[in-house]
Chain A
């Protein structure tokens, strides 16, 4: 059996590129109005891509200021209030306007209907509304920033946020509240789509794992985001109307806020990471040319994380004075929720075993994801251990830990997915070598930025400090130096991806010879996704024949 030609795809019989473009969702009509009123999931995906990119660079600018300030121990660049506002802005924007929507709403929107061979999501107009809610929410957050900022940290801890902060807390909280409804709308849409629009022949256990990950994420969105809405309502009520809910001077209890907030915000961590796991699964299978190892285990792991993730919130509160038995229970559950994540890591690695691996940029990002996610997950075990957490809680160790998951993990996964589906989304190929360089830069820049923060946390550097003792400076300098590399690595794709829109080579319908249904239609897809019904043959990841071993001709 000879090796199938790779990459130099047979374009005979395909329509000429200009016709594909003209008939595609992009070429159909080009007016701002047609884009702003579109109900096409693909166009909404693009709208989300533009808005999340914008928010990513706002949040990134804030991160740049933080790293510049921390270059020296003295608080010399920003004032103390200025610094507090900058890290709050960074957190609020990155969490709610970048990390939560980025994969479900950009890639999920674009791909879920295509992967299911469907014309659109179940509720196209709800989908458009969800984008508007997201940018209205974002506009409130940006308004709060321009009006003078907010200085509570993204966690809005009471009673500081309700009785002491003299900044635009309510405005920001309203923005986050509104964006929560956007999340809920997306969640409902995805759940209904997966339940009702799977094509004949695609049972639950034949769905691509990316769709499974979006489904599991949507369940969490739907069940946890209302709690965020409630806690923000209570916060605004106390702040604006003076009702005593969290403020002890008015008969409230500040700890109640923490329970409600983390009951949302811990599951929200899984909202942010599960879609990344879905992307990475698609990418690793494709570039290893292997069926995914342990499909069923991958599905159950996603669902287990989604369910158990609701019962671990108390591990954010080990130092709050909660009872030792509560802490130990939450500690135990936090160790248990790490098990399905470990299973996924092993399965990704086993998928590479005996593959035919190539190293396109998406694969580099995906391999980086597995490594960085593993480190982020393992350091989570430190924080799940009560005595160790008493030391590391609210230090830079925690900062490093969640950036390994959120940036090393989720952002790498987003870039993996963006590169992987870029030809499908835009009809253009991106320049591969530039992309590979960016992927490697991101990996090294990321480690240089955040690894020193583990050490900083361990020697006792607390979070959210504007100025710090001299002894910590070495590690902060390393971290800031890494941030420079990281910033360059994030700017590179902005340039070469935009470049590829105009000068990039036209993409064939399936440039990676990947197996999903989305690759059976043109690149970019026509308005209603498929001109002929896509064929569902074999299993989802049919990269190697089921029974026959895949051998090289020269082997044996």
Chain B
């Protein structure tokens, strides 16, 4: 039998404020439970059949006002708790100035992470301490959920969607990683660990990883290998829009809408090219759904993003 665990480490800034809410709720509901239990116990003893306690008629205010009082008190209390909890959401919704972006793909039954400079790991995630980390999550098959109890955070990883999970790491250490959404046979084996390291150690760790191609390099190769370059390459604007500088810009669509070309748009355009066709082009691009793995999509997106960066640099 392992050691008894009752207190979780708080390894992210969200964990600290969530623990505050948890504690508050625990105290409030503990008091209410105590009130209910002791009233039931008290009445059960005091008003047991034949006891000598007074059964005088209830005063009029009792029936009339009590109901109103506890209704309003409950509404007030519950709305207050809601507001207190909601304040945390608003605080977390503010995007950070800069963050480390790591792509994570969930598949039956493992987690694959790809760091910005191309390092890959499976069922492990190394992140720097005291840094805001943004995970970009995709699933290759069914819904999974990326859950780090020590961060008090989880985010479902939904096929066909790109979800994001942001956390600010606080404490150095190794923490459990679970899949929290049931995903089939080996759901309970889809576990791993998250290692929060001092910044220098993280940088060190990155350099010690086998030198794989980074995401952009990988994407560039795929861009050619999968035939994207045939239409989208260079300055040709005949059949397909140029991709240099597209990332992050406003793109006019053929039905008159404008859309921001973010990760999600690029991903959608690869998988469902006929959905948001750029103004002035025919919807002739075939869908690449099924032809590209989640990892390849991530690399391609990274490559297209890099085209925008070189553009602005010029």
The yes or no verdict on A and B being binding partners is: yes
* A→B interface (CB under 8 Å): 3, 6, 73, 75, 80-81, 84, 151-153, 157, 159-160, 163-165, 248-249, 251-255, 288-289, 293-294, 297, 319-321, 324, 327-328, 331-332, 335-336, 338-339, 342-343, 345-347, 349-350, 352-359, 367, 370-371, 374-375, 378-379, 381-382, 384-388, 390-391, 393-395, 455, 458-460, 462-474, 477, 547-552, 554-556
CA distance A153 to B44 in the complex (A): 41
- B181 closest partner in A (C-beta): A394
Q: For this complex, into which size category does the number of interface residues on chain B fall?
A: 35 or more
How many Å lie between the Cα of A469 and that of B175 in the bound state? 12
Of residues A319, A332, A343, which shows the largest number of chain B Cβ atoms within 10 Å of its Cβ?
A319
**C-alpha spacing A386/B182, complex, angstroms:** 21
* Complex alpha-carbon distance, A355 and B40, angstroms: 12
A459/B8 contact (C-beta < 8 A), A73-B2, A352-B47, A395-B180 known: yes
Partner of A464, one of B53, B182, B272: B182
> Given A358-B48, A387-B89, are A164 and B182 neighbors across the interface (CB < 8 Å)?
no
Given A356-B50, A460-B8, A462-B179, A80 and B186 contact (CB-CB distance below 8 Å) = yes
Residues of A within 8 A of B3 (CB): 471
Interface residues of chain B, those whose CB is within 8 Å of chain A, are: 1-8, 14, 17-18, 21-22, 25, 28-29, 32-33, 36-37, 39-40, 43-44, 47-58, 63, 66-67, 70-71, 74-75, 78-79, 81-82, 85-86, 88-89, 92-93, 108, 141-143, 145, 147, 149-150, 152-156, 158-161, 163, 176, 178-189, 191, 272, 289-290
**Whole-angstrom distance between the Cβ of B166 and the nearest chain A Cβ:** 12
Name the one of B36, B149, B185 contacting A371, with C-beta atoms under 8 angstroms. B36
Closest A-chain residue to B272, C-beta based?
Answer: A251
> Which of A332, A458, A467 contacts B22 (CB under 8 A)?
A458
Q: How many angstroms between the C-alpha atoms of A474 and B1 in the bound complex?
A: 7
User: Which residues of chain A have C-beta atoms less than 8 A from B48's C-beta?
Assistant: 356-359
Q: How far is the CB of A67 from chain B (nearest CB, A)?
A: 16
Interface residue from B66, B152, B182 paired with A157 (Cβ < 8 Å): B182
Which partner residue on chain B sits nearest A248 by CB separation? Answer: B160
> Chain A contacts of B89 at CB under 8 A?
324, 327-328, 386-387
State A253–B66 Cα separation when bound (angstroms).
49
Residue of A nearest to B179 (CB): A462
Contacts of B86 in A (CB 8 A): 328, 331-332, 386
Beyond A80-B188, A387-B17, A552-B55, whether A472 also contacts B145 by CB under 8 A is no
Contact B143 A374 (CB under 8 A): no
Contacts of B50 in A (CB 8 A): 3, 356, 552
Whether B21 pairs with A465 at a CB distance below 8 angstroms is no
The complex places the Cα of A375 from the Cα of B142 at a distance, in Å, of 34
Contact of B63 among A293, A378, A382, A472 (CB under 8 A): A293
**Interchain CB contact under 8 A, B47 and A382:** no
- Which residues of the other chain, B, contact A554 by a CB distance below 8 angstroms? 52
Contact present for A374 and B36 (CB under 8 Å): yes
Q: Which residues of B contact A471 (CB under 8 A)?
A: 2-5
Contacts of A320 in B (CB 8 A): 156, 158
Q: How far is the CA of A477 from the CA of B25 in the complex (A)?
A: 27
Task: Give the chain A neighbours of B67 by CB distance below 8 A.
Answer: 294, 297, 343, 347
Chain B residues whose CB sits within 8 angstroms of the CB of A336 once the complex forms: 75, 78
The answer to whether A387 touches B85, judged by C-beta atoms less than 8 angstroms apart, is yes
Q: A342 contacts B74, CB within 8 Å? A: yes
CA distance A335 to B84 in the complex (A): 12
User: Can you list the 6 inter-chain pairs with the closest CB atoms, starting with the nearest?
Assistant: A248-B160, A460-B149, A470-B2, A385-B85, A378-B29, A391-B152
Contact of B85 among A289, A343, A388 (CB under 8 A): A388
